[in-house]
Structure 1
Amino acid sequence: MSDPVSSSRQSEPNTQGLLRISTAIETAATLDELLLLALNEFVQGLGVALCGVLLLDAGGESISLVSTFPPRISFPPPIPMSDLPIMQRALQQRQAYQIHDITELPRERYRSPTSLQILTMLTEAQVRSLLIVPLVAQDRVIGALVVASIEQPRHFDDQEISNIRLMASQLAAAITAFRTIEEAEYRNAELMTLNDIAAAVNSMLDPRDIYHLVMEKINQFFRVEAGSLLMLDEETGDMVFVITLAGGQEKLIGQRVPPGVGIVGDVVRTQQYAIVHDPERDPRFYRNVSEGIGYNVHSILCVPIVVKGRTIGAIELLNKRTGRFTEEEALRLTRMAATIGIAIENAHLFQQVSTVRDRFEAIVNSTNDGILMADMRGVVVASNVVAARLFHRSREALIGLRLDDLIAELMERAQVVEEPAWLNDGESHRVFEIELTEGPARYLRHSILPVLDTHGMQIGRLALFENIDKERELARLREDYTGMLIHDLRAPLTAIMNGIMMVQRGLGGPISPQQQEMLNIAYQGSQAMLEMINTLLDISKMEQGRMILNIEPLSPYAVVDEAIERLQVYAQQRKVQLAQDLAVGLPLFEADREKIVRVLQNLIDNAIKFSPENGIITIGARQIELDTDTLGGSHPDLPMPLPSLPAGRWLIYWVADQGPGIPPQYHARIFEKFGQVQQQKGRGTGLGLTFCKLAVEAHRGHIWLRSREGAGSTFAFALPVAGDGD
């Protein structure tokens, strides 16, 4: 029988159990890892044989077993709550329930097939007793923790249950936090996927390349075995497979589905998505598709592509690799399909440029971006309405003007002109981002593309002026959200570190050497995370010009000594030697000690990370004096060339390593936020060099890089030195 268990009697919490659960929470990198570590601690601490976590769906209608200890290879499908009356009662009343002996449960009370199947499964596993504890976080029940004994019944007393509930509340809070972070990451991944698709569509002319990229991104995002893009043939009403991507291979191209046939036909007709978990039992299932791919279809998610109320196609995903398709994923794909549909339609329109002049007119007048087309002499031969408003002229007045003159005029009106490295990495044409003070758009992305005829010969140039006002606003909102998130993370992280420190000092009772070691690991990990958060906050402040520098006279030698002292142990562990090449008689300079030490520390840390065993890292410094402004070049006192610097006295620091070097295409990008060399191992957060650049520039200095693949790297920065009369 099942009885509610009173929680009125207070008992002392199991400190060691709480500590172990906290450690599991702090060290877990993913939700799955968190659950596995926590359940292991429950099993070990309670002396039980089995332990598991079940989580409710968004509507609370069903519950799923998501993790067990000992671990299971696979989990059963979600179970309706109506088939689990004891579980339902426990979660509704938020009370722990015990089932003292499974074998004594009256089978007549559990007649549903699901209930009988669960009872049979528990009996076969020799489970005798169960304890069900609700998982509650933020005043909401999110699931249940189930503890089980096998072979022999077990009774949990009030004190044990009180301790278990206390530890379960910690676990519930951690699960909720992981879910929140995963949802934010999933949403960011969705936006990045759409941005990648939109950027590719804007740069591609071949529809087949666009179809391939769209399905490649969608398959990766939703983790499916295969995905199809079907477009509507408006003449026949057939749905035509323009691509099916399965295992990287293109299939089914050109195959047709008659109007109204199959799941895709129903989706196109109703303009509603469809989730099918058992296609073989669905009367709409069109088997020609699975036979064409060559493997069994286990699950389907299909959504319509609707543009301006008109269905133009559908996206069909097959066989989700992990779990089942959910309503949330269907809604996500529906949103993405709408954006993709617009991009595909624009791509189809853009393709018509190289065929007929009238079609070109239709394209340029249906876009929100400014477009100018010039012939091989550079004279404008076509324009759209948006370009006319941008240049404050009629379309007719633009015809005959020189394209280069119009672009120069626009640049003169610009308040800011940028050339983003991430948009110009390996591109044959340059892309500029322009900020205007007036006009129909404030922010523009400008590029010039060649116009080719059907034989691939260039017949002119196409100037694009893309309105990126919304993109900039989205970037600002994303930065604000990230800043808020990082700022809010610092307070609880500091509290965690203080808690660990107090436990280390024995305020919660004596601890063993092994526990001390685990606490040290937890504290060091928290310290690293706090430093990362502080770096992000400092970068944000410097980007916004809000960073306050504590300027004081500094010794160039003391700065180097402090940076080396922080990393000496790390260098010894990596078997890397730190050498100094500091000139005698270097002058004092004025700067923020902590910022400049962190700059050197980041550069030395990177050098250690990428240096080979027994490698040598050289930290050098020189003072140079420039009589006139220099455009860069070699200097007799320096091992690397100088960049462009104004006249005056400069203190030059450098850090040279013997690592693998950095390819030329990354030299500019590596100083950007999250910019990294993709091929190298041991990559970090991509924030260290961004901090270095902003910190040096905040001191009116300059940072640069000299590197060759296979020949090591030298990072250097220059700081101004005040003259005697300053």
Structure 2
Amino acid sequence: MIPPPLPPDEPRRLQALHRLCLLDTPAELRFDRIVRTAAQVFRVPMALVSLVDGERQWFKARVGLDGADSTSRSVSFCGHAILTPDTFVVLDALKDPRFFDNPFVTGAPHVRFYAGHPVRAPDGSAVGTLCLLDSKVRDFSEEQCKLLVDMAAWVELEFNALTVQEARAAMAQKERFFELSVDMLCILGLEGRFRQVSRAWPRTLGYGEEALNDMPLRELIHEEDRPALAAWLGQGTQGGPMPRFEHRCRGRAGEWRWLQWSAVAQPEEGILYGVARDVTEQKRLEAERQHVEQMKNEFVSTVSHELRTPLTSIRGALGLLSGGVAGPLPSTAADMIDIAHKNSERLIRLINDILDLEKMESGKLDFQLRPLELGALVAQAARAHEGYGQERHVRVEVAVEAPGALALVDEDRFLQVLANLLSNALKFSPAGGAVVLRLARRGERLRVGVEDQGPGIPEAFRARMFQKFAQADGSDSRRKGGTGLGLSIALALMERMGGALDFTSQQGVGTTFWAELPEWREAPSEKPSESRPAEAVELPEAVRPRVLHVEADADNRRVVADVLRGVAEVVAASSQVEAEAALRSGSFPLVIAEPVLPEGTLPLQPLLQAAPVLLFSVREAAPEVAQQVSAALVKSRASNAELRAAVLRLLRPGASTP
């Protein structure tokens, strides 16, 4: 997303905007009539008269758009539109580098089409737009552009509707307005003393008008907020609109209240006109919300981490039994083991989804981007889902139409996206059908499509498809299971890697979900990283190396030893003390470590000094830790085969350097 730059005349433009006295005013029929007409004439679901303030765009009139009456200027389409004298048109926001990852494109109201023409104040400054929006891609003809220009001129006529006679009448009503207004209006000297206050000030703070008039505002403000007040008043000497300002203000009874100011300074007169809002209750509610959110995140994280360790050992043990480590099982027992194994996988996926969601919302999800061959990742994802396809009696086919093409991705995260799309496609495909995983080049971008032959997705559900916990009620999706988090997480992962995720669907024919990324061109001196795992081979007993495994959970120690049977002799340590004793007893070519121990975090430095380290942990490694170790796997994500392959790769000569 590219935020709109500031126009060169920004100070003058803001002065002109504030002189209109329209910001934060109630709805007016004269502007509402314009947006209603625009929506009907152009047949769009949304139309706005938008005013672009210093930090926001505020809607003077709107139709078809619910929710807040303003949005941040940094994500606004109108912030771009006021930079040009012509009509600003975006036919498909998902194909525009300025908007493809805009939150109002990827989320509600899912803007795909935008057309906006600047509206100007009497001095010619572009103060906002009359704009049209749609959640569908549209064309916009030259004739339509001309009509929008005419309707924008209608908005400008309303800006100028205040005649000289009305202006004089307004001045005559100024004093009465101050008396009757429910807002905390004031005239404040730039030295910080009140010149005049409305009656809302005494009602809010408890002081009389006489006490407030000519009182230094500094005396009412919390000591910690006084430097900010001085800086704010100092900005007023420059003229024009001033930034929003919040401070704590002492009431007559001694209580502290939060006030939020909007003001316009008149330095030539040494005053500012201000409106203060009592936001104490909003601050209290926000603090409570943040506290509840923090408690929720801590609870989710703690519970999920506590569940990961036993579930990892359960899944690992069941996988070994299902694979025949204990010999052939009676058919009934094998069926029961298979059921338990599948459900343990389902629980782990749920925990991973919850943790991923929590990390993305808190901004703690780390990415290791590197150029990788997408064809190899596509083939790897297809192989990983062949078993599920056989179970569903659905073929998994691969079509690589751009062999050797590279993209900058996090391997694990991209495979996670493909796993979600593939599992969904297989889940909803009819028996005997096929799911095609197709890699193709589209201009400068690479697209990986997952094509199924399922029932399709209702058009009415499109807008909610990537929302959290979204499932298409009314179809058979509820019977298919799932958390409703997968697609929301997949979309966020693709956006973090600079890509996009979307779908096309036709009911009764099938659905294609596609993940798209910019193609990465290899420089002559660079080579892409290999993404193929090591082969799962066995080593002769005489040459099997000793591998130290530091893990507090006895069940996990047993599972890892069984997984590495035939690969290495595993020496187990359940604590830091046992690990140090094992290292003194002899050398190890590799250490597998779970740094989360009951007594605290395991120090990695002594292990790193002794041998290469493979983290096999309940938690994802922090970036600074991942750079020090040779490899890092998350227990609930890595299969037995992936753990075994990672150990084999690191035991190869020359493969142990991080």
**TM-score of the superposed pair, with normalisation by structure 2:** 0.36
> Higher relative contact order by CA 8 Å / sep ≥ 6: 1 or 2?
2
What TM-score, normalized by structure 1, do the two folds share?
Answer: 0.33
